[in-house]
Amino acid sequence: MKNLKWKILFLLPVFMFAGDLDNIDTSFDLGDVDKPYSYKGYVKPEAYYIDDKDKYKKIKTELNFEGDYKKNLWYFKFNWSGYYINDEKDIQTFGVLNEGYVKYGDVNKNITIGKELLKWGKGYAYSAVNFFTREKNPLYPEDLKQGYDLLHLKTISSLNSDIKNYSIDLIYMPVTDTLNSDLKKSQNFGGKLYMLYKDVDIDFMFEKSNTYADRFGGDFSFNLMTELEIHGEYAFDSDKNNSYLLGAKYASDYDYTITCEWYKKWDNNKFLYLKVSQKDFFIDYLTAYMTGIRNYTQNINSLLIGGSYDFKNNFIFTTEFLTSTKQKYLKVSLGYYF
């Protein structure tokens, strides 16, 4: 009976897909009323036709709900996703708390306790300095929603100098049987120093652990011109491994965007990433995009071509085709955003 309820909840439209939502605003509009809370969410059914060693179909539906509440210096936030997955071999239904934390303080000084998604680093497809954060899927980097349970202290200050402002983040992340249990048991702490030097964003960060290798890194980003941003990252650990990224993003006045990145992961695999997207592609409300990834170390190529149409009534239809050295699939979705 429990599984039946999950199926009824998630088996809504089964002919749809996740798309490129970078340029689509799906946030809840509170209008002119200053309410202490806000919420938004979506139901996103996806249908896949997959061709790898076997040819099969897969249905995946995600229900996501996010809400927050602010009272004086207190701020509460949560983000939850429920999933139904049927790949003709197995059926799964499960829920994930992506974020759930309480924050106390103002903009300049605050403390956060709970499950929080940190967004360290300047890379879009990958980040060498995403300490205390899960790795992105380079095809869908925006899908990363799940954070870690941690304690987070932050302070922000402004200066009347070449360093216009700076901030300091301190992190403590325990790993136990109940907290961050997908990692090895450990005690981890670290920090990040951010500064805006003239017109350059600069970060320095570190992560210390009694189980994992200690990591140290930094990143930067600046605008070479109004439309062109340059960014980079470098990190190394106490085991003499390193990881880095160098990239650029061009965003034109004509609503097309080009992102290119060259990066090396901790496992020494080297990648070239290119994404091109065009808003209002031939017709209004249609966004077309293409993502290409080449793994030079293993000689693996991936090409994703897709398009999403915003019906302006909270429905977004998306279709995508992926071809890679290991797999091909066709994906279709129709998401409802509220």
Write the CB contacts of 68 (distance below 8 Å, at least 6 apart in sequence): 37, 38, 39, 75, 76, 77, 78
pLDDT at 6 over 80: no
Residue with tokens 């981890």: 188
Q: What is the enclosing helix (H) or strand (E) of 183?
A: none
Average pLDDT over residues 201-230: 98
pLDDT of residue 34: 80
3-state secondary structure of 127: coil
Given a cut of 80, whether residue 5 has pLDDT beyond it is: no
**% pLDDT > 90, the chain:** 86
pLDDT tens, 278-307? Answer: 999 999 999 999 999 999 999 999 999 999
pLDDT band at residue 29 using 50, 70 and 90 as cut-offs: low
* Per-residue pLDDT tens digits for 238-254: 999 999 999 999 999 88
Q: According to the model, what pLDDT value does residue 4 have?
A: 39
Q: What is the SS3 assignment for 11?
A: coil
Q: Which two tokens stand for residue 225?
A: 């011109």
| Whether the predicted pLDDT of 173 surpasses 80 | yes
State the average pLDDT over residues 111-115: 99
Q: Model confidence over 45-93: pLDDT tens digits?
A: 999 999 988 889 999 999 999 999 999 999 999 999 999 999 988 999 9
33: pLDDT confidence band, cut at 50, 70 and 90? low
Q: Rounded to whole angstroms, how far apart are CA atoms 56 and 41? A: 30
The whole-angstrom separation of Cα 236 and Cα 244 is 9
Structural domains of the chain ordered from first start: 2-28+36-337 (2.40.160.10)
Contact criterion met (CB below 8 Å) for 153 and 170: yes
CA distance 27 to 38: 9
